[in-house]
Amino acid sequence: MPKLRQQRIRNFCIIAHIDHGKSTLADRLLEMTGTLSEREMDAQVLDTMELERERGITIKAKAVRLVYKYEDGEEYILNLIDTPGHVDFTYEVSRSLAACEGALLVVDASQGIQAQTLANLYLAIEHNLEIIPVINKIDLPGARPDWVKKQIEEVIGLDAEDAPLISAKNGIGIEAVLRSIIERIPPPAGSDEAPLRALIFDSFYDNYRGVIPYIRVKEGTIKPGDRIMIMSNGKEFEVTDVGVFRPFLTPVEELRAGDVGYIAAGIKSVRDTRVGDTITYAGKPASEALPGYKNLQPMVYCGIYPAEGAKYEDLREALEKLQLNDASLVFEPETSVALGFGFRCGFLGLLHMEIVQERLEREYGLDLVTTAPSVIYRVMKSNGEMVEVSNPTNLPPPVEMEYIEEPRVNVQIISPNEYVGAIMELCQERRGEYKHMEYIESTRVLITYEMPLNEIIYDFFDALKSRTRGYASFDYEYIGYKKADLVKLDILLNGEVVDALSTIVHREKAYAKGRAIAQKLKEVIPRQLFEIPIQAAIGNKIIARETVKALRKDVLAKCYGGDVTRKKKLLEKQKEGKKRMRQIGSVEVPQEAFMAVLKIN
């Protein structure tokens, strides 16, 4: 009886701000439903990547199937779909939400709702999900569950009266959560008999079976032997395996409308089965794809170079491997006069960029030099041609340019009202255009600014946190391109332009930035045998200058009582240090110099 089967399925996700307890709650749900024995529970099962655990955020969505015996005596299948918790991955979040009928909104009992939660929550409401507020950490001293309930009602207009009050950490109130999931979240709909439409909401690359897409079957049935087609690109594959997450991949005979699971079909590239795409039958395709598919384009670019030139091939291999699992990562070879051979890499956002860099360093043991992140500029050339520039070095000379356009975003900040002044100041400094401010409750405001993306890609969030003592949260969405008065800021060492240090900045900020970079470089470039002028320039005009004085003393006084080895070792160490530096013209520049430039604002 298919109807009955669907009635006993609930597909849901958890929406929460970082640290509000999403992973811990997921762990408790797994534990309570006996999905994993306590012995198998490595704390926070869903965050398996080391990096994710360290940062306390979930980078890639995952899914798990819980079986819970409800008081009516029936066993229910609860599919928990984990969502990434960061603004860079909004699209992936929206696809995960599209695979669910409901969401748990987990709010910290002492902190209340944060901007990111709100952004994801609105996404969930857009997808018509049933929202169940859950108030977590009620056992902590600062807990104010009534205040949070009121906030949820006032800010979101959700009835929070019956919200389960829980402590995920200490296992309090978990049963209530499970009951609410069954009672309040609607079961999936959709006919088993209709032509297959399955939503891809995640995937990973398996060395033996190729790409394993995670799917939510909306309509129809999928089983081994089926010939399937990916609707956006028409590519066809034969299904070899279907299964569910228990939480480990466990094969089943078939997946039917309402089910969440995975398939294996000898798919070679994650690019063929992008998140949001629809899987259908090759022979009897559905008439249209599921809504919402987008081919995501990178927003932020930077150059990534191996610290040692000889590691170029290793870097390429590592990027290729990461790309197997990450359809949003793009890269292409690039050459820099200063840094040699490397890659220009594109990312969804800054966090995505940092994650990729960290994984390259940690999982692949690579030492990297990265250039300052850049957005994609659109340049209208005098000849009427529009070109996109993601590497400042490639900006055409001013005489060949009509104008430059830069990408802009809508930034939403939620903060206690006492920091409004500080936030506005920060946004103005970053060329923000004030749009809107509203009180979402008596002491908290939602501030909206329109800002150039390039002003927030590096350290905006850090600056925001430091100016609001960590109380503000923020989110952004891309809105489009707009003309701006931008210039290329070059850095010259010993009279030569260092391509890897060039940046595109707003004209009004060029002087301050040029000065700051020159000063910073003066700190990090060690003295050498000759004096080194550091200059910042716009075109031919020098706007700042510093000097690294010549080395005056580099000699050991002592002979260490015949300990020649010690002296030789010191020299060898010095030589090693020199080797790690980049030779730019006759100047030796330490790797840190390229990073240091990032940290200026």
Q: Where are the alpha helices (DSSP H) in 56-136?
A: 90-98, 115-126
Choose among 368, 351, 413: nearest CA to 55: 351
Q: Return the residue of 233, 539, 556, 583 that touches other proteins, per CB under 8 A.
A: 556
Residue 555 interacts with other proteins (CB under 8 A): yes or no: yes
3-class SS of residue 197: strand
Closest approach of Cβ 544 to other proteins, in Å?
24
Q: Determine the Cα–Cα distance for residues 593 and 528; give it in Å rounded to an integer.
A: 15
C-beta of 337 vs 529, nearer to other proteins:
529
Closest approach of Cβ 571 to other proteins, in Å?
6
Residues 432-461 that bind other proteins (CB under 8 A): none
Binding marks (x or -) toward other proteins, 298..337, rule CB under 8 A? ----------------------------------------
Count of alpha carbons within 13 angstroms of residue 147, beta-carbon side: 14
C-beta of 122 vs 560, nearer to other proteins:
560
Strands 368-370 and 300-306: antiparallel
CB count, 10 Å around CB of 575?
9
Residue 529 interacts with other proteins (CB under 8 A): yes or no: yes
Contact status, residue 476 vs residue 412, Cβ threshold 8 Å:
yes
> Which residues does residue 75 pair with via DSSP β-bridges, in sequence order?
69
**Stretch in the footprint of other proteins (CB under 8 A) among 5-13, 18-26, 102-110, 571-579:** 571-579
Closest approach of Cβ 419 to other proteins, in Å?
34
C-beta of 67 vs 551, nearer to other proteins:
551
**Stretch in the footprint of other proteins (CB under 8 A) among 182-190, 304-312, 461-469, 559-567:** 559-567
**Stretch in the footprint of other proteins (CB under 8 A) among 329-337, 381-389, 506-514, 558-566:** 558-566
Query: What is the signed CA dihedral for 362, 363, 366, 371, rounded to 10 degrees?
Result: -70
Q: Return the residue of 227, 567, 580, 599 that touches other proteins, per CB under 8 A.
A: 567
Q: Return the residue of 439, 571, 583, 599 that touches other proteins, per CB under 8 A.
A: 571
Residue 527 interacts with other proteins (CB under 8 A): yes or no: yes
Contact status, residue 532 vs residue 494, Cβ threshold 8 Å:
yes
- What's the Rg (C-alpha) of the chain? 27
User: How distant, in Å, are the alpha carbons of 4, 190, 199, 256, 257 from that of 7?
Assistant: 5, 11, 20, 13, 11
**Stretch in the footprint of other proteins (CB under 8 A) among 45-53, 220-228, 263-271, 563-571:** 563-571
Contact status, residue 79 vs residue 64, Cβ threshold 8 Å:
yes
Contact status, residue 567 vs residue 559, Cβ threshold 8 Å:
yes
Closest approach of Cβ 501 to other proteins, in Å?
25
Q: Return the residue of 320, 554, 580, 599 that touches other proteins, per CB under 8 A.
A: 554
Supply φ then ψ for residue 543, to 5 degrees: -110, -10
Residue 140 interacts with other proteins (CB under 8 A): yes or no: no
Closest approach of Cβ 572 to other proteins, in Å?
7
Going by C-beta distance under 8 Å and a sequence separation of 6 or more, which residues neighbour residue 330? 298, 345, 346
Closest approach of Cβ 553 to other proteins, in Å?
4
Residue 558 interacts with other proteins (CB under 8 A): yes or no: yes
- Pair of tokens at residue 470: 């960590």
Instruction: Go through 174-189 and write b for each residue having 16 or more CB atoms within 10 A of its CB, e for each that does not.
Output: beebbebbbeebebbe
Closest approach of Cβ 557 to other proteins, in Å?
4
Residue 574 interacts with other proteins (CB under 8 A): yes or no: yes
Closest approach of Cβ 573 to other proteins, in Å?
11
Q: Determine the Cα–Cα distance for residues 305 and 316; give it in Å rounded to an integer.
A: 10
Residues 233-292 that bind other proteins (CB under 8 A): none
C-beta of 381 vs 568, nearer to other proteins:
568
Q: Determine the Cα–Cα distance for residues 143 and 149; give it in Å rounded to an integer.
A: 12
Contact status, residue 338 vs residue 584, Cβ threshold 8 Å:
yes
Closest approach of Cβ 564 to other proteins, in Å?
6
Q: Return the residue of 559, 580, 583, 599 that touches other proteins, per CB under 8 A.
A: 559
C-beta of 140 vs 529, nearer to other proteins:
529
DSSP secondary structure, 381-446, as one string: ETTS-EEEESSGGGPPPGGGEEEEEEEEEEEEEEEEGGGHHHHHHHHHHTT-EEEEEEEEETTEEE
Residue 565 interacts with other proteins (CB under 8 A): yes or no: yes
**Stretch in the footprint of other proteins (CB under 8 A) among 206-214, 397-405, 408-416, 549-557:** 549-557
C-beta of 190 vs 526, nearer to other proteins:
526
What is the layout of strands, in order, in the sheet containing 197-206? Answer: 236-238, 227-230, 278-281, 197-206, 210-219, 260-264, 241-245, 249-251
Closest approach of Cβ 587 to other proteins, in Å?
14
Closest approach of Cβ 577 to other proteins, in Å?
10
C-beta of 448 vs 494, nearer to other proteins:
494
Q: Return the residue of 126, 563, 583, 599 that touches other proteins, per CB under 8 A.
A: 563
Number of H helices, E strands in the chain: 14, 33
Query: Which helix H or strand E contains 359, and what residues bound it?
Result: helix 350-363
Residue 553 interacts with other proteins (CB under 8 A): yes or no: yes
Supply φ then ψ for residue 36, to 5 degrees: -130, 140
C-beta of 321 vs 527, nearer to other proteins:
527
C-beta of 479 vs 529, nearer to other proteins:
529
Residue 561 interacts with other proteins (CB under 8 A): yes or no: yes
Residue 223 interacts with other proteins (CB under 8 A): yes or no: no
Residue 568 interacts with other proteins (CB under 8 A): yes or no: yes
Number of residues that bind other proteins (CB under 8 A): 25
C-beta of 287 vs 565, nearer to other proteins:
565
Closest approach of Cβ 523 to other proteins, in Å?
15
What are the strands, taking DSSP E only, across 235-357?
Answer: 236-238, 241-245, 249-251, 255-256, 260-264, 278-281, 300-306, 330-336, 340-347
Chain residues that interact with other proteins, rule: CB under 8 A: 527, 529, 551-565, 567-568, 570-572, 574-575, 578
